[in-house]
């Protein structure tokens, strides 16, 4: 049963009209999906779960090594167009990014999204996918500490902080970092990319 989040008293809804894609598949760390999604929706953002699985199929969430809830896919990654979204979120969980890295459509979507200079936020094991998309090289970023060697081998400057921002790239290490991760993404979404073009001409 869907709840109308508009009924929440005092909810800040200043980002209505913004659309954020969350790319994930089985094995996703559940809270790294549900936490950012709930936060963004409270600010008026429309969040779409995209996946290499078909629309209506279910993605198995994980609470660490225990099976959690299942989440219905809302759009197949083949049908997802980067231009239709204002930001992209890559949650972690070990098996989720492992599978995405092997899926050519998912890697291509991440690569094309980043090429459009829009916010791309990855947490925990999620930054693994940045390697395959050719994004990690020469970037300041963080990730789950166990994969820091992989990130460094890909040419990244790995930093042990709750959130690291390099241009439009936002990365965090683990579920404990979700509040900082959310706030960094929110700040990027509040930036109007067309603001420079809208001002009065002199």
| Positions marked active-site | 124-125
Region of residue 118 (left: phi > 0; alpha: psi -120 to 50; beta: else): beta
Cα–Cα distance for residue pair 167/192, rounded to 1 Å? 15
Cα–Cα distance for residue pair 182/186, rounded to 1 Å? 6
Cα–Cα distance for residue pair 21/24, rounded to 1 Å? 10
Alpha-helical segments (H) within 116-165 = 128-132, 148-153
Cα–Cα distance for residue pair 151/144, rounded to 1 Å? 10
Residue 70 host element (H or E):
strand 66-72
């Amino acid at each position: 049963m869907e709840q109308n989040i508009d009924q929440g008293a005092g909810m800040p809804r200043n980002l209505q009209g913004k659309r954020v894609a969350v790319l994930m598949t089985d094995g996703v760390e559940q809270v790294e999906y549900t936490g950012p999604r709930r936060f963004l929706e409270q600010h008026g953002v429309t969040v779409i779960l995209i996946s290499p699985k078909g629309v209506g199929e279910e993605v198995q969430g994980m609470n660490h090594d225990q099976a959690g809830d299942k989440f219905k896919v809302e759009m197949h990654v083949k049908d997802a167009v980067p231009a239709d979204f204002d930001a992209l979120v890559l949650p972690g969980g070990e098996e989720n990014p492992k599978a995405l890295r092997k899926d050519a459509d998912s890697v291509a979507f991440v690569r094309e999204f980043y090429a459009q200079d829009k916010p791309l936020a990855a947490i925990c094991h999620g930054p693994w996918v940045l390697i395959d998309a050719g994004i990690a090289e020469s970037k300041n970023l963080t990730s789950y500490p166990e994969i820091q060697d992989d990130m460094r081998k890909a040419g990244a400057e790995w930093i042990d902080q709750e959130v690291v921002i390099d241009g439009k790239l936002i990365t965090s290490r683990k579920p404990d970092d979700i509040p900082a991760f959310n706030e960094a993404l929110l700040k990027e979404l509040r930036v109007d990319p067309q603001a420079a073009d809208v001002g009065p001409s002199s």
